[in-house]
């Protein structure tokens, strides 16, 4: 039986961050990753004929100085600064995101814009008390009419369910602190010349993030570099290896871990601590004997995701990093422009490479469609939107990603709390981290922070930080350009040490 002090399940951002910091401190660490080829999870970089694809789009910015410093430590020489540009496509028009007041007014029309404001005022006068679902929460903040235009269609594409079935927690986490008045104020600032923007306290009011750092060949560079350094320090990473069983021996104070290797062999490991970034549903089902919370874990749901990468015989079709597709007539939810992320991701300057993103459930019609059918669908929808004709698409490939997003349905919170309570009480050396590991829709930097604090707890031999509080008070919208964030980076945006005043 192979032994290490810490056994890490999953080589995504959270798992590799934990292993990197543990091996840096000389702690014997073993990592398993189910994917046979890529580390990085959804933050990996896929490739096809020298074209590179970011699975989902990962801007590197954080309000945590510790996270930014760690990025620079792992990948010191390969970051480039990129302009941030995103738009919304709706009803045949493009809306800048963040919105620009006069552009939005012209695109929607003066009558529709007035109706949106009246709808908002009505909701301010007659709000839904204690909103429990996404629909009611957003309508309270923006009005029913803007909810139906800018939130309903895209959100239901992403989640595959009615906005009435999605927990209000989702909205509160992703658009916290924003309502129609603040959105209009920001939109007005975006519509004015830079020097004419309103000022507060003598300082220029920062807009939503205008630039970001990005590895020149995609986020996979970061996690490939982290994996290499883990191995250099003696850590072990087993690819194509999945968790089969977890057993706690109370007498020995030790975990026995069974895995299935890349050649379908069963192999045992032992460790004093287990850090898991695997989906909670899979983790709980591996624990022997099965815990009482297994039923709650089975009720957790996940949204899957696929990218159809199309190589188009036209240069630079649009300048955006991505475009949100709110148009209900097509299934595509978002379109990435990989050259806008980094010129090095597209090897031929005469070609464009786009990633059309489709949200689905594993086993449904989209997920089970052949690559050829998915490429044909993407070509057709690209033409419907008007970005390129089908004949201009010269090649393509499909990348599937299981369990990309933990679903925030009506019952998720109770299920997660039941699981969390039982595992914490019975297994204090079993640590849950990351997006799927905690069933929290964390950004990459928040997932990393859960791992960083977990390592601090392990090294101290006691629980100094409650990792479940990471991102509880953070706002989704970050401010300023990449070079303007030194003040923001001094704000740790992490939970205070337990017992600290």
* Cis peptide bond upstream of 289, omega within 30: yes
CB contact at 8 A, 230 and 25: no
**Residues 290-320: tens digit of each pLDDT:** 999 999 999 999 999 999 999 999 988 999 9
Which of 250, 251, 252, 256 has the alpha carbon at shortest distance from 286? 256
Q: Taking CA 443 as the corner, what is the angle to CA 61 and CA 415, rounded to the nearest 5 degrees?
A: 165
β-bridge pairing 266-276 and 29-33: unpaired
Each residue's pLDDT tens digit, 61-84: 888 899 999 999 999 999 999 998
What does the alpha-carbon distance between residue 330 and residue 327 come to, in Å, rounded to a whole number?
Answer: 6
Q: What is the pLDDT of residue 175?
A: 63
Q: Which phi-psi region, left, alpha or beta, contains residue 234 (left: φ > 0; alpha: ψ -120 to 50)?
A: left
The answer to whether 426 and 291 are in contact (CB under 8 A) is yes
* Closest-CA residue to 273 (of 299, 254, 249, 292): 254
Q: What is the pTM of this model?
A: 0.87
Q: Per-block average pLDDT, block size 10, for the chain (501 residues)?
A: 95 98 98 96 95 91 91 96 91 81 79 90 92 91 88 91 89 62 59 46 44 94 98 98 97 96 96 98 97 97 96 92 93 96 95 97 96 98 96 97 92 96 96 96 91 97 92 43 38 51 35
Question: Is residue 36 within 8 Å of residue 8, measured between CB atoms?
Answer: no
With beta carbons less than 8 A apart as the criterion, state whether 369 and 375 touch: no
What residue ranges define each of the domains in the chain, with the CATH number in brackets?
2-44+63-78+215-300+409-489 (3.50.50.60), 116-197 (no CATH), 302-406 (3.90.660.20)
User: What per-residue confidence (pLDDT) applies to 103?
Assistant: 78
The pLDDT score that the predictor gives to residue 195 is 45
55 CA to centre of own chain: 10
Alpha-carbon distance of 209 to 99, in angstroms, equals 13
Residues 6+ apart with CB under 8 A from 497: 464, 465
Beta strands in 198-333 (DSSP E): 199-200, 203-204, 211-215, 236-239, 242-249, 254-260, 266-276, 287-288, 302-312, 322-325
Range list of β-strands (E), 168-235: 199-200, 203-204, 211-215
Strand partners, 83: 211
Q: Which residues are within 8 A (CB) of 379 and not within 5 positions of it... i.e. 6 or more apart?
A: 310, 390, 393, 396
Cα distance between residue 451 and residue 16, in whole Å = 9
């Amino acid at each position: 039986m192979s032994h290490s002090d810490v056994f890490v399940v999953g080589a995504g951002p959270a798992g590799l961050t934990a292993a990197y910091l543990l091996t840096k401190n000389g702690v014997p660490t073993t990592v398993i990753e189910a994917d046979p080829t890529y580390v990085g999870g959804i933050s990996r970089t896929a490739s096809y004929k020298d074209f590179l694809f970011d699975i989902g789009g990962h801007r590197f910015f954080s309000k945590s100085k510790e996270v930014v410093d760690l990025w620079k430590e792992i990948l010191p020489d390969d970051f480039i600064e990129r302009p941030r540009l995103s738009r919304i496509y709706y009803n045949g028009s493009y809306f800048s995101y963040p919105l620009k007041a006069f552009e939005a007014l012209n695109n929607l029309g003066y009558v529709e814009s007035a109706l949106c404001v009246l709808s908002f005022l009505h909701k301010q006068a007659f709000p839904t008390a204690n909103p429990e679902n996404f629909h009611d929460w957003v309508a309270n903040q923006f009005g029913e009419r803007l909810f139906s235009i800018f939130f309903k269609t895209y959100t239901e594409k992403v989640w595959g369910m009615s906005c009435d079935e999605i927990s209000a927690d989702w909205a509160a986490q992703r658009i916290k602190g924003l309502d129609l008045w603040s959105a209009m104020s920001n939109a007005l600032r975006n519509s004015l010349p830079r020097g004419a923007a309103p000022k507060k306290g003598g300082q220029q009011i920062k807009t939503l993030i205008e630039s970001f750092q990005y590895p020149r060949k995609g986020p996979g560079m970061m996690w490939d570099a982290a994996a290499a350094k883990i191995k250099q320090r003696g850590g072990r990473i087993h690819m194509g290896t999945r968790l089969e069983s977890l057993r706690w021996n109370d007498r020995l104070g030790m975990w026995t871990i069974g895995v299935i290797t890349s050649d379908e062999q069963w192999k045992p490991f032992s460790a004093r601590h287990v850090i898991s970034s695997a989906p909670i549903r899979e983790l709980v089902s591996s624990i022997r004997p099965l815990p009482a919370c297994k039923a709650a874990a089975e009720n957790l749901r996940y949204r899957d995701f696929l990218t159809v990468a199309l190589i188009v015989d036209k240069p630079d079709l649009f300048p955006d990093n991505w475009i949100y597709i709110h148009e209900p007539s097509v299934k595509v939810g978002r379109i990435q422009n990989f050259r806008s992320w980094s010129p090095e991701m597209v090897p031929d300057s005469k070609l464009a490479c786009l990633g059309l993103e489709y949200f689905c459930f594993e086993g449904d019609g989209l997920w089970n469609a052949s690559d050829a059918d998915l490429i044909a669908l993407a070509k057709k929808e690209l033409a419907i939107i008007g970005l390129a004709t089908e004949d201009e698409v010269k090649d393509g490939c499909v990348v599937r990603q299981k369990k990309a997003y933990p679903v925030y349905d009506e019952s998720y919170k109770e299920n997660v709390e039941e699981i969390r309570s039982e595992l914490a009480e019975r297994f204090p050396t079993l640590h849950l981290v990351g997006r799927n590991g905690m069933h929290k829709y964390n950004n990459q930097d928040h997932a990393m922070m859960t791992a960083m604090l977990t390592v601090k707890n392990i090294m101290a031999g006691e629980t100094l930080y409650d990792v479940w509080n990471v991102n509880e008070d953070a706002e989704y919208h970050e401010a300023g350009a990449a070079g303007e964030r030194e003040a923001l980076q001094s704000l740790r945006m992490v939970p205070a040490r337990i017992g600290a005043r």
